[in-house]
Amino acid sequence: MNCLQATKLISDAQERELNFNEKIGVKTHVMLCPHCRKFQAQCAKMHDLMKQFAGNKPE
Ligand SMILES: [Zn+2]
């Protein structure tokens, strides 16, 4: 897996459940690649913010 595939799957993971092979691929790549590890952390943070935002709708 290269960085392009990894980042694609990392952003996909915010919207759908990755299959077993995809999860393993991402996990392995992220362990070896600081760039994608950072991207994944940012994605998770962004996803949390979005969830908070969606949960705090104005009345
Ligand atoms: Zn990478």
CB-neighbour burial class of residue 10 (10 A; exposed 0-12, middle 13-18, buried 19+): buried
**Cα 33 to averaged position of ligand 1 atoms, centre (Å):** 5
What pLDDT band is residue 51 in, cutting at 50, 70 and 90? confident
Is 55's pLDDT higher than 90? Answer: no
Q: Is residue 11 within 8 Å of residue 43, measured between CB atoms?
A: yes
**Cα 29 to averaged position of ligand 1 atoms, centre (Å):** 6
Rounded to the nearest integer, the mean pLDDT of the chain is 92
- Residues whose beta carbons lie less than 5 angstroms from ion ligand 1: 3, 6, 33, 35-36
**Cα 2 to averaged position of ligand 1 atoms, centre (Å):** 6
User: pLDDT tens across 22-38, in order?
Assistant: 999 999 999 999 999 99
What sign has the CA pseudo-torsion 28, 18, 44, 10? Answer: positive
User: pLDDT tens across 37-49, in order?
Assistant: 999 999 999 988 9
Rounded CA gap, 32 and 29, in Å? 5
Tokens of 49: 């913010």
Quote the distance between the C-alpha of residue 23 and its chain's center: 10
